Structure 1
Amino acid sequence: MLRGVLLDLGGVVYDGETVIPGSAEAVGRLRAYGLAVRFISNTTRSPRAALVRQLAAFGIVVAEHELVTPAGAARDWLLRNRRSPHLVVHPKLRPEFDGVSFEGAPAVVVGDAGDTFDYAMLNAAFRQLMEGAAFIALANNRMFKDRDGLPSMDAGAFVAALEFASGVKAEVIGKPAPAFFHAALAEMGCTAQEVSMVGDDAESDVAGALRAELGCALLVRTGKYRAGDETRFSPKPSAVVADLAEAVDHILSKVG
Structure 2
Amino acid sequence: MIRGVVLDIAGVLYQGDHAVPGAIAALDRLKGAGLPVRYLTNSTRSPKRKIVAKLAAMGFAVDPAEVLTPAEAACDWLKREGYAPHLLVHPDLEEDFAGLSGGERTAVVVGDAGPFFTYERMNAAFRELVKGAPLLALATNRVFRDADGALSLDAGAFVRALEYSSGSEALLFGKPAAEFFHTAVRRMGCDPDEVAMIGDDAESDVAGALKAGLGGAYLVRTGKYRAGDEARFAPCPTAVVADVAEAVETVLQSRD
Query: Structure 1 length normalisation: TM-score?
Result: 0.98
Aligned residues of 1:185 and 1:192 also touching (Cα < 8 A): yes
Q: 2:85: which partner in 1?
A: 85
Q: CA deviation at 1:104?
A: 3.6
Give the whole-Å Cα distance in 2 for the aligned partners of 1:188 and 1:109: 28
Give the whole-Å Cα distance in 2 for the aligned partners of 1:189 and 1:58: 28
SS in 2 for 1:218: strand
AA in 1 matched with 2:105:
A
SS in 2 for 1:197: strand
Q: CA deviation at 1:96?
A: 0.4
**1:113-128 matched pairs, under 5 angstroms:** 113-128=113-128
Q: 1:44: which partner in 2?
A: 44
Q: 2:6: which partner in 1?
A: 6
Give the whole-Å Cα distance in 2 for the aligned partners of 1:113 and 1:74: 16
Confirm whether residue 18 of structure 1 aligns to residue 12 of structure 2: no
Q: 1:241: which partner in 2?
A: 241
**Count of equivalent residues:** 256
Give the whole-Å Cα distance in 2 for the aligned partners of 1:141 and 1:64: 23
Aligned residues of 1:52 and 1:61 also touching (Cα < 8 A): no
Q: 1:97: which partner in 2?
A: 97
**1:95-174 matched pairs, under 5 angstroms:** 95-174=95-174
Confirm whether residue 27 of structure 1 aligns to residue 6 of structure 2: no
Any runs of at least 4 consecutive aligned residues in structure 1 with deviations exceeding 4 A, and if so which?
none
Give the whole-Å Cα distance in 1 for the aligned partners of 2:61 and 2:111: 26
AA in 2 matched with 1:68:
L
**1:202-213 matched pairs, under 5 angstroms:** 202-213=202-213
SS in 1 for 2:235: coil
State percent identity of aligned pairs.
57
**Superposition RMSD on alpha carbons, in Å?**
0.8
Aligned residues of 1:137 and 1:172 also touching (Cα < 8 A): yes
Give the whole-Å Cα distance in 2 for the aligned partners of 1:32 and 1:216: 20
AA in 2 matched with 1:198:
I
Q: Where does structure 2 lack aligned partners over 5 or more consecutive residues? A: none
AA in 2 matched with 1:78:
L
Q: CA deviation at 1:99?
A: 3.0
Q: 1:223: which partner in 2?
A: 223
AA in 2 matched with 1:61:
A
Q: CA deviation at 1:40?
A: 0.4
Give the whole-Å Cα distance in 2 for the aligned partners of 1:100 and 1:127: 21
Q: CA deviation at 1:101?
A: 4.1
Distance change in 2, residues 1:106/1:100 (3 Å): closer
Aligned residues of 2:83 and 2:101 also touching (Cα < 8 A): no
Q: Where does structure 1 lack aligned partners over 5 or more consecutive residues? A: none
Aligned residues of 2:84 and 2:100 also touching (Cα < 8 A): no
